[in-house]
Structure 1
Amino acid sequence: MDIKDRASNILGSMPSYSDEALKGALLKLDVQKSEAEAWLEAPGPRPYYRKLLYADEQVELLVMNWADIECAPHDHGDSTGWIQVLSGATRHTVFKVKKGHLPEALFTEIKKEGVLLYAPQHGVHKMGREGTDPLITLHLYSPPIRGMKVYDLKKCAACIVSSDCGAWWPEETRQKIKEIRLKHFH
């Protein structure tokens, strides 16, 4: 049974969408690097290429492969979820956010193949490939991400982006739902 069939069976009939239920579902999917690679394309000029594998009203499952560029600091709107490192290692930075201010980095850690990262509602983070091995990640969010906020630390701004934009500053005007000016923390 391929990823999409397993996702439909497991994610399509979840009795709960709690953090623990999402984590359990992601582990039960047991996605292997080799089967994830079949869905991926080169990221091009972006930090990553993403492919939606499953979505319904309650959850979405995406697989991503990463270029040698970090994504921008971002949150996942009102969604929570889990990120599984299927291959390689990621440099993961978590930020503290004070309303109306630029996010401030709290810590950076290296997470290797097999690790699960929790993505809390409105939590701000950024990721990037660590080292030269290909980085492939699997992402499960509930509800599907809407209203993701992406930060540009140089511009002192944030932008709520459309759901077809990833964790980077949108290049197309239609992808900018709302732009927000921010202040430095100090």
Structure 2
Amino acid sequence: MKLKDKTMNVFHSLKKPSKKELKEVLQKLDVKLEEVAPMLKSADGNPYYRKLIFQNDEVELLVMNWSQVECAPHDHGNSQGWIQVLNGTSLNTVYEVSEKGWPSELFEEIHQEGKLFYAPRKGVHKMKSAGGTDLVTLHLYSPPITGMMVYDLDACAACVVSDDCGAWWTEEMRQKVKEIELPKTQ
């Protein structure tokens, strides 16, 4: 069965899926690297290239192939989701956001091929390929991501980006929905 058909079969009945349901659905899909490989393209200097595989009002499924550039710390707006490593190794850095809005690094974790890890609502993290491997990840979010906040910690700034922007500080004004100056002290 083709990936498009599999996603239609699995996602059609989801309504406001829970954390557990999202994980179960992603596992049931059982997506293999060979199925998404034809969709992958160069990241063109960005941390990753992303391809939307499926989206409806309840969920979105994306595949990403990563360059050696790490993405910026970011949240997923009001979305929650699961990330699955299809190939390579991921270094995931998790942050805690202070009352003043400043993200501070909590810990780093390595995720090997086959691993699934959770991205909570408003949770801030950053990712990159670890160990020089070709990292490919599959992302399932609910609801589809909108209002993603991206942080530039060197500039003490944050930005809500448009839905077509990735987790990096964009120079395209049309992708900056709202820019926020963070306090100089944490």
- The two structures have a TM-score, normalised by structure 1, of 0.97
Q: Give 1:81 deviation, angstroms.
A: 0.3
Q: Does 1:37 align with 2:37?
A: yes
- C-alpha distance in structure 2 between counterparts of 1:77 and 1:22, whole Å: 17
Amino acid at match of 1:102: W
Asked if 1:165 corresponds to 2:186, the answer is no
How far has the Cα of 1:31 moved from its partner? 0.3
Q: Which residue does 2:150 correspond to in 1?
A: 150
Q: Which residue of structure 1 lines up, in the alignment, with residue 4 of structure 2?
A: 4
Secondary structure (helix, strand or coil) at the match of 1:38 reads helix
Report what 2:81 is aligned to: 81
Do residues 55 (structure 1) and 20 (structure 2) align? Answer: no
| Identity within the alignment, % | 55
The CA RMSD measured in Å over matched residues stands at 1.1
Count of residues in correspondence between the two structures: 186
Tell me the equivalent position of 2:98.
Answer: 98
Q: Structure 1: which 5+ runs fail to align?
A: none
Within 1, Cα distance between the matches of 2:16 and 2:74? 26
Letter aligned with residue 29 of structure 2 = L
Q: Per the alignment, in what secondary structure is the counterpart of residue 7 of structure 1?
A: helix
Report the residue type matching 1:132 in the other structure. G
1: CA distance, partners of 2:123 / 2:53: 24
Q: Matched residues in 1 for 2:160 and 2:15: separation? A: 31
Per-residue CA deviations over 1:110-169 (Å, capped at 9, x if unaligned) read: 110011110000000000000122100000000000000000011100000000000001
Looking at structure 2, the residues matched to 119 and 85 of structure 1 have their Cα atoms a distance apart, in angstroms, of 13
* 1:71 and 2:33 matched: no
Give 1:16 deviation, angstroms.
5.1
> Would the aligned equivalents of 2:16 and 2:143 in 1 still touch at CA under 8 Å?
no
Within 1, Cα distance between the matches of 2:143 and 2:4? Answer: 18
Deviation at 1:49, TM superposition (A): 0.2
1:102–1:157 contact (8 Å) kept in structure 2: no
Q: Which residue identity lines up with residue 71 of structure 1 in the other structure?
A: C
Structure 2 Cα separation of the partners of residues 116 and 154 of structure 1: 30
